[in-house]
Structure 1
Amino acid sequence: MKKILSIGIILLISIHVFSQRLSGTYYIGSGGNYASISAAMNALLNNGVSGNVTFKINNGSYPMVNLNFLSGVPNQGDNDTIRFTSSSHNANNVIISSTSTALLINNAKNLIVDNLTIGDNNTTKGIEITGSCNNLEIKDCNINSNPTGNSNAQAGIYFDSRNNTSAYNLRILNNHINGGYYSIYLYGYSSNNYNTNIVIDNNNLSNPYVYGIYSYYTSFNSISKNTITSRSSNNSSSFYGTYIYYSNADMINGNKVQSLTTAVAYPYGMMFSYLNYRNTTTPSLISNNEILVFTNSSYYGMYLNYSRANVYNNSILVGGNGPARALYVNMLAGVPVNIRNNNLHAMAPSAYPIYITSNSVAYSGTHLKMDYNNYYNQTQVGFAGTNITDLNDWRFVTKQDAHSISVYPNYTDLFSYRLIADGEGFNCPRIPNVNSDIRDTLRQSITSMGAYHSYIPKMHDIKLLNLISPTKDVTAGVPTPVRVSIMNMGYNPVDSINIYWNVNGNLQTYLWTGFPLALGDSTPIITLGNFIPLPGENNITVYTSLVGGKIDNDPLNDTVSIHSFGCKTTVNSIYTVGGSSADFKTITEAIDVIKYCGIHTPTTISINPGTYNENIIIPAIKGTNSTNTLTITSTSGDSSSVTIQSLTSAPAITLTNTDNVIINKITVKGTSLGLSSTAIRLQNNNRNITISNNYLVVSPNSPSTASSTDIMAIISQTSSDTNLVISNNYIDGSGGIYIRSENS
């Protein structure tokens, strides 16, 4: 009887020990509390917890791990955390590997996985998350998937919650994720049920086959400080550093994205489509990102489509030989975009630092606002419904970018693939919510365009910030004020400035005095005086100097000039072109005057006989309507008497966002050389256009491919034109008429 009683006591003690709730630290592996991770999980799920639990995994290799919390952990409170980590705090010492999924996490709550190596070069998925998870943190791990494979089943971290599950409070921090079709794949449940409070920060994502970060129906607190690098071999033809679709993000800051081989033909450094479009009215802050991609095709550094975003202080360089876009913007009504303080550089002559789609130009100044950007390309400033090669023309078309520049960035460390410019001439005011740069260097009140703050203020430096008045078009004979504002960009405060203003050769001076301007402060608007504009060109120059013998250490920013066209109060109904007695020598001069001054009656540009080697751009003309049309025609009424000839691949005539124009009884010739020849191009939504009784000539050469539209007499390919009449024209060459709306 005593023996039976003793056995019963021992059993009761054993049951009590093995069913005791877990709390504190336990070791897994050789010599530890549990021989395997699965044994530790069994104890956790059977016994429950009474506080925080940490499982430290001893050095070694372990098979596939299933952290399945479907039934929950008994007695786990809202603040009880479960952690799996390496006992050495070194991820290289604990390796969990499998040819399928190395680590499966299901229905986790308050779980931390850190300092582990998960997966190897033969792994399909490093970590797969399933079920509904809340407060899951994955940090300081090496996470691997196949670095040479091309299956879309391969991923570093994979979570697909379309089966009525979601992730809340997921943090992916400080990991090195290598290989896979995706580095990170997150797919939320639906448009009304996003994954929420997601953070992806400080990770190194290398060698994804296609996608660095793929997101759908996910709401991020932050995607920041990640380095994302495409493969250099065994690569796809496409690469997306980020693919963020129907997702929201508070902040996308300080990421570095690189695709350095043109073997990746179709790169998107960062792709955002419908970002912050649903479930929010707050724009996403896209700032301090450095994007460097190479392509021989027409692809993108940053692609922004139907997205509510503030694009601030990014550095983007697109190399290669193709017509790429450093920043591509396609907008939707009511979804604003602000673009400020960026350094955008496209290398190829046919590439664009910025590309604003034709339909988006209409939002410029309302939903689209831009300023203090650097747009550099050796050929063109950008595309805004049409190719624009001059910064002043860019400002005229977009009504934006008053302080933007087009200057080659003198990179100081490009061999290390860092887009740090030397800071000279790239100055801009700091944006309040971008207080530091990509290196966490604090930005001063005057900072640098792009992701890097490199501006060092001089002791004395004042900048003529704005020539507010006059504008490019003024009324002849009507007194017009000259107004400016000035910024102090030096360390020393300034309380007095000499201002010199010259109008059509008449030099005058003005002394400004006021409250001392500290670094970054600007004067109120200063009215220097008035002038009487002459008909035609008026040349206005304003420059400054410091008072009291002080030397301005940067005289290059002290001067601004403008050519204002003085429009008469009465305008002609007929303008003649060509010859000594004509109103204008060239057709371009006539168009420029009409562009500035508009029309108030049916107006004709009557062209005298001759050949005019010009590329004419007809923009929106003030005052046109169905009655007050602009007609471009030959004086004699004989189409053979006037030839407008393009000597380059650019169209001889381009109509862009213009209305009520008639082109008739002239000869229009595209270039006769090469594989690109256009007589007349329509772009950016034209209305009420008539092209009739003309002789249209393009190259007789065969185009580069059977489907090519590079040789066309008339082409409307990316425009949405209304009331377009093309009649009684004679067309000569290998291309005829091609009309295709911008979209369905």
Structure 2
Amino acid sequence: MKKILIISGLLAFLFFELHSQTTVTTQNFDGTVNWTVSPTGSWISNSVYYVSSPKSYHGYVPNQLKDSIILTTPFYDCSAYGFVWLSFNHICKLASSDIAQIEIQENLAGSQWKKLPSSCYLGSNPAAYNQQRFNQNSYNDWQPGDSLATPTNSWWKEERFDISAEAGWGIVRFRFKIIRGSTIGTQFTYGWLLDNFELRGGSHELDPPKLTLLNPVYKDTVYGVGPFNILANVIDAEDSLLKLTYAINNGFPYQVIMHKQGVDLYDFTIPQQVYGTNVDYTVRAEDSVGNYISESHSFINIRHPNNPGFLNGAAMYSIDTPHTVKVVANVTLPVYIKIKNTGLNNLNSAVIYWSVNGVMKPSYNWSGGNLPVDFASSSFYLGSYTPSLGYDTILVWVKNPNGLVDSLATDDTLSFITYGCNTIFKGEYTIGGPSGSRNFSSITSALNELSYCGMSGNTVFKIYNGTYNENINLNTPIEGMGQFDTITFVSASGNTDSVIIKSNAVAVSLAYVNNIVFKNLSIDVINGTRGIYFTGPCENIEINSCKIKANPTTTSSTNVCIYKSSGTGISDNIRIINNQLDGGYYNIYFYGGTGSSSRASHMIFSGNLLTNAYYYATYFYYNDFDQLSDNTIRSRLTNTSSYFYGLHMYYCDAPSITRNKIHIPSSILYPYAMYIGYCNTGTNTAAVLVSNNEIILKSTQNSYGMYIISSRIDIIHNSILAINLPNVTNMGIYISSASDLTVKNNNIVATIPLYINSLTSLGTTWFFDYNNYFSPLGYIGYASGYVSTMSNWRSTTGQDAHSVNVYPSFVDTSVNLKTTGGNIVCNSLSNVTTDINGLSRGFMTTMGSYHDFILKTNNVMPYRLYSPGDLSIVGANDSVVVSVVNIGSNAVTSMKINWKVNGVQMTQYSWAGSLAPGDTTQPIKLGNFMTLPGDNEIIVYTSLPNNQTDQDVKNDTIKTSTYGCDSLMTGTYTIGTAGHFATITDAMIRLKACGIAGPVTLALFPGLYTENIIFEDSIRGCNATNTITFTSTTGVRTDVIIYTATDSAQDVGTIDLKNVKNLIFKNIAVYGQHRSPMFYSKAVMLRSGTENITFDNCILLIPTFVSATNIPGQLSVVYNPSGNPVN
């Protein structure tokens, strides 16, 4: 396209030019709509809401769960275009469980529909489409908290997609699809409204640069002669070239390249012009592929009516040099100035006078010649002066314009003050120490000189041994600091303990500074507030090998070792390495950025020892890490909070979190060793690798080794020990939510090793295997209920095919979680090739953070027992099936497999074949056995690999048990010393294992039963006819008292029911927790899925006293947690 410069006299004008693009199709739904609707009537015209009047198109949410409705476009021919852009306006009022998605299909045989990738989304809110879907959560304007809210026309949002990769050079069509989820009632949301669908194509990248002229924008009438500085902001990934074209009084156009002043900032100055000059100018930004945009204006300049009307006048315009306040003392400097004509006659001569500190200098007769009205002269040399040490005042004034008296004297004078410095800092300087060998007696005097004089190169302040009761305040940019210049504060002796900076307030304050290093220093704010306080944005700050001491007994949030609060800007390239942070409410509190999309980048937090924090060892928000590793965190032993967080991070990305040790003692009620929320959630962001971490925590209440929320995360080779009291809910890994999740090769010992909050993503984006889950209470984990056996866990989750549940042989848990390495062996993974100590893992290794496996020559291990299952039929011929893994360095060609059933040695199995190192056999059937009533124990152990002695017998054995049911239960059974069952627990085991064939009554002999009746799932055979009744043998309700066996810290009812129906409790007394201190006491807990439960002539009792620590919902006779539907 040929560019034409349009001149319009005094009228300003603005126009934009774009590279040639073609509109392939548009649809505003105001006329005929040739799109296909399925099913019929699910999409209709809407005249209430629209962008282009008078109509839009409206899709309704399907009535049936998991149903869908579709609106399909015709095929569109984009075969002539390499670049294609889709845009439309919409309101998507769908519940969060429902999905609105856009799909594309090529006109090719066998081509499938596919969702538009998140990577091509160009809309205003990247988070709106980060899961390739829209719903009411995409924008706050759509009121996500109120599903029944009615839209308004202010809700419309424009969405844009660069679909060049999907549609370029092709023929495509689109469809808009609403998919109903599995939540009841969401069909009453308003639905999906569409308007202004448009498809554009072109031969170049479709997005032109974005050009903005910054104030002042010269147009129309402009006062003054200039010069006129044109300032432009350009945003473009293709690195635009900016050109300025300007013409004076419709003359020949001048074309220049504008100067780049910053990342997106350009400028050029149009020279001074006499009054009455017409100036036309155009700024054009063109990217490397030829797209461009331009903006043009025209103006005429006139004299301001308030300017003086004298014939002859002169004014001081500027002192050009010296141009900095800080100068080097005793080094002669030139003085250059400009003057201005303020009279109506041209200025041909003037006399300039000047002085330094009141001492007159030789005057200067200027005769620059014929300077037009209000024009400034060129810069000219006035003379020179030698700065003294300290302040100098330069005073300059002009007189006698054109040899006459100046009619206006108020603008004749300018002054400039300089400060003469001993030096402009560069090199090494000493602080403290002997007076004859030091540069500065104190840190304050050195910083004062630095603030006055600035620097010209790398500067190191070596601080002599001693305690310095003063502060380091660096809160403004340091003059003269180059991009690669640094300032280092370091102990002169290299000994961290020898230099102590002590403050009763803030020891080090930083804002708006870059390239600062603190090394081998001690910072003491035990009686102060903050050790290092970032009060504003900073960049490239390193804190290395320092000791920062806050108050180790404080409970005040103002006492912190390192602190940066929210709203203090973005601080990039912060490195905190090999430090000791002791005490404070937080060891470190760091809001690196200002929001989830404005984060600090390239942060390193590595090799630090964090101790004695009150509430948080670390509190990271809006930080993207390059490294987060090798830190040790130890909580306080005394004066503790009820809550403690070791590694706490929110909206942070990191490639890995590795080799960290977190040890938390038992005096803390609710510890969280790692709390990771909303990390690595970007569409193209890889999962954070959490590996080789060691977590030891104990608690008298609820604790969490790892607590994961909405993150993309791989949890590999971690060791977690989280047990204390046997009835406390200590969780190893708690998965609240996650986008992508892998949990492998971990060693987890906890009362609840793994807690999964949802089963939806298992096998699709969540994967678990080769883990050890051990609980002293016998749990594998929680997945829609507590699961006690590996076989049930596998059937519930579809995961952990090769995981085990054994107690690992720890060497000394008071020191670390090293094991003897025998019974938790697994294959190594390519992304974790070393352990917490840097040892190479080899092809076989140990689950957990330590590589404790020692490779032997001949070593085999039973790997998995496939049969029998948890339940067997008494008298049946059940089989024992096992697989064996070769964990030695030699291939195995033979071995013996031995087995026992209920202590009886069975016939040895001789295996022959070829088993390479690291390989596992196919399932091997060892033989059959006759199942006895109750528990049957099966032990399998290997021997004589390659007819040699097995070199590690600690891992040769695997055990399981199966419960033998002689019949389905029916009729009446007694419980008590002389009954069919000694305890309620014994009866519950058989009831859950074997099920029932008719109505069952469990009659309890008189007495006190310290047990819980807990149902977490339905009983086989139990229905409205075949009910289960718990009652007393005497029919007297005070004769049988059932009292909870759980600790008061656990929120568990004496009778605790979930997903169970058709139970009757009759003529018994049920007591909740009565011990003090009291946290929870509930006689009956009715959880979700509970139905048709009868309590008849029972006593349900909790204590009448209430502790001050109790809150509503902790004490209740009968309690139904919020949101749990029961009938």
- Equivalent of residue 838 in structure 2, options 440, 452, 455: 440
Partner residue in 1 for 2:463: 57
1:117 is aligned to 2:522? yes
Q: Deviations over 1:417-460 (max 9, x none)?
A: 44444445344444443433333344344444444443434443
Structure 2 equivalent of residue 742 of structure 1:
none
Q: In 2, Cα distance between the equivalents of 1:18 and 1:47?
A: 6
Q: CA deviation at 1:103?
A: 1.5
Tell me the distance in 1 between the aligned counterparts of 2:641 and 2:878: 60
SS at match of 2:947: coil
- Matches of residues 260-299 of structure 1 in structure 2 within 5 Å? 260=665, 262=667, 265-276=668-679, 278-279=681-682, 282-299=686-703
1:258-314 per-position Cα deviation (integer Å, ceiling 9, x unaligned)? 44472xx43525241515164465443333334444544444555445554444322
Paired residues for 1:202-213 under 5 Å: 202-213=607-618
Cα deviation digits, residues 639-670 of structure 1 (max 9, x gap): 959999857536675433x26x2224755653
Structure 2 Cα separation of the partners of residues 394 and 355 of structure 1: 11
- 1:172 equivalent in alignment to 2:576: yes
In structure 2, C-alpha distance between the alignment counterparts of 1:398 and 1:433, rounded to whole Å: 25
Q: Distance in 1 between matches of 2:551 and 2:1012?
A: 53
SS at the partner of 2:589? strand
Once the two structures are TM-superposed, the CA of residue 202 in structure 1 deviates from its matched residue by 1.4
Confirm or deny: 8 A CA contact 2:663 2:695 kept in the other structure: yes
Q: Alignment partner of 2:386: what SS? A: helix
Check 1:606–1:653 CA distance in 2 against 1; reply closer, same or farther (3 A cut). Answer: same
C-alpha distance after superposition, 1:86-118 (max 9, x if no partner):
222222333333221111222232322212223
Contact kept in structure 2, 1:201 and 1:226, CA below 8 Å: yes
2:1045 maps to amino acid? S
Counterpart residue type for residue 386 of structure 2: L
1:457-507 CA distances to partner (integer Å, 9 max, x unpaired)?
444321111234665469999999976432222344423334468999985
The residue correspondences of 1:436-585 to structure 2 (distance < 5 A) are: 436-468=834-866, 471-472=869-870, 484-499=882-897, 509=909, 511-514=911-914, 516-517=916-917, 521-526=918-923, 528=925, 543-555=941-953, 557-560=955-958, 575-576=970-971, 578=973
Q: How does 1:608-647 map to 2 (within 5 A)?
A: 617-621=1014-1018, 631-633=1026-1028, 646=1042
Aligned: 1:369 with 2:768: yes
For residues 640 and 1004 of structure 2, the distance between their equivalents in structure 1, rounded to whole angstroms, comes to: 56
Q: What is the TM-score normalised by the length of structure 1?
A: 0.74
8 Å contact kept, 2:517–2:541: yes
> More deviation in 641-650 or 129-138?
641-650
- Separation in structure 2 between the aligned mates of residue 139 and residue 721 of structure 1, nearest angstrom: 52
Query: Separation in 2 of the partners of 1:499 and 1:338?
Result: 31
CA distance in 2, matches of 1:193, 1:632: 60
Q: Provide the secondary structure at the position in 2 that maps to 1:247.
A: coil
State the alpha-carbon separation in 2 of the partners of residues 711 and 70 from structure 1.
57
**Aligned equivalents of 2:488, 2:877: Cα separation in 1:** 76
Instruction: Indicate the SS of the match to 2:485.
Output: coil
Q: Helix, strand or coil: the match of 1:54?
A: strand
Shift of 1:329: 1.2
The match for 2:1093 is 691
Structure 1 residues 22-41: aligned runs within 5 Å? 22-29=425-432, 30=435, 31-34=437-440, 36-37=442-443, 40-41=446-447
1:649 aligns with 2:1051: no
Residues 604, 397 of structure 1: alpha-carbon distance in 2 compared, 3 angstrom cutoff: farther
Shift of 1:253: 2.7
* 1:158 alignment partner in structure 2: 563
| 8 Å Cα contact 2:652-2:679 kept in structure 1 | yes
In structure 1, the partner of 2:288 is: none
In 2, Cα distance between equivalents of 1:360 and 1:648: 29
Q: Can you give the 5+ residue segments of structure 1 that lack an aligned partner in the other structure?
A: 346-351, 725-744
Rate the CA distance shift 1:481–1:65 in 2: closer, same or farther, 3 A.
same
Q: Is the contact made by 2:499 and 2:522 (CA closer than 8 Å) also made in structure 1?
A: yes
The separation in 2 between residues aligned to 1:94 and 1:404, in whole angstroms, is: 53
Equivalent residues of 2:533, 2:564 under 8 A apart: yes
Per the alignment, residue 407 of structure 1 pairs with 807
Structure 1 residue 174: Cα displacement: 1.2
Change over 3 Å in CA distance of 1:291–1:540 after alignment to 2: closer
Q: Which amino acid aligns with 1:372?
A: N
Which is higher, the Rg of structure 1 or of structure 2? 2
**Secondary structure at the residue paired with 1:438?**
coil
- Tell me the C-alpha RMSD between the 2 structures: 5.1
1:463/1:557 contact within 8 Å kept: yes
Offset, 1:132: 2.0
Shift of 1:608: 7.7
CA distance in 2, matches of 1:421, 1:477: 41
Q: 456-465 or 441-450, which moves further after superposition?
A: 441-450
> In 2, are the aligned partners of 1:497 and 1:546 still within 8 Å (CA)?
yes
User: Which residue type is aligned with residue 211 of structure 1?
Assistant: Y
Question: Is the contact made by 2:1071 and 2:1102 (CA closer than 8 Å) also made in structure 1?
Answer: no
Give the SS at the match of 1:223: strand
Taking the TM superposition and a 5 Å limit, the aligned residue runs for 1:171-210 are 171-187=575-591, 188-210=593-615
**1:266/1:677 Cα in 2 relative to 1: closer, same or farther (>3 Å)?**
closer
Give the CA deviation at 1:76.
0.6
The answer to whether the 8 Å contact 1:271/1:303 transfers is yes
Distance in 1 (alpha carbons) for counterparts of 2:1028 and 2:727: 38
- The equivalent of 1:87 in structure 2 is 492
1:369 alignment partner AA: F
The reply to whether residue 239 of structure 1 matches residue 636 of structure 2 is no
How many pairs align? 686
User: Does the 8 Å contact 2:1083/2:1116 carry over to 1?
Assistant: yes
Using the aligned pairs only, state the percent identity: 29
Over 3 Å counting, the alpha-carbon distance change for 1:328 and 1:559 in structure 2 is closer
1:215 alignment partner, one of 620, 632, 655: 620
Q: Does 2:1122 correspond to 1:722? A: no
8 Å Cα contact 2:870/2:961 also seen in 1 = yes
Q: Shift in Å at residue 231 of structure 1? A: 3.7
Residue pair 2:876, 2:931 contacting (<8 A) in 1 also:
no
- One-letter code aligned to 1:523: T
Seen in structure 2, the aligned counterparts of structure 1 residues 328 and 496 have a Cα distance that, compared at 3 Å, is closer
1:136 equivalenced with 2:136 (yes/no): no
For the 8 Å contact 2:681–2:712, the answer to whether it is kept is: no
Q: Given residue 677 of structure 2, which amino acid in structure 1 is its aligned partner? A: Y
Distance in 2 (CA, whole Å) between partners of 1:594 and 1:403 is 28
How far did 1:523 drift?
2.3
Q: Bigger shift: 145-154 or 360-369?
A: 360-369
Of 251-260 and 181-190, the range deviating more from structure 2: 251-260
In the superposition, relative to structure 1, how do residues 392 and 21 fare at CA in structure 2: closer, same or farther (>3 Å)? same
Distance 1:610 1:476 in 2: 26
Distance in structure 2 (CA, Å) of the matches to 1:23 and 1:287: 44
- Does 2:386 align with 1:11? yes
Normalised to the residue count of structure 2, the TM-score between the two structures is: 0.52
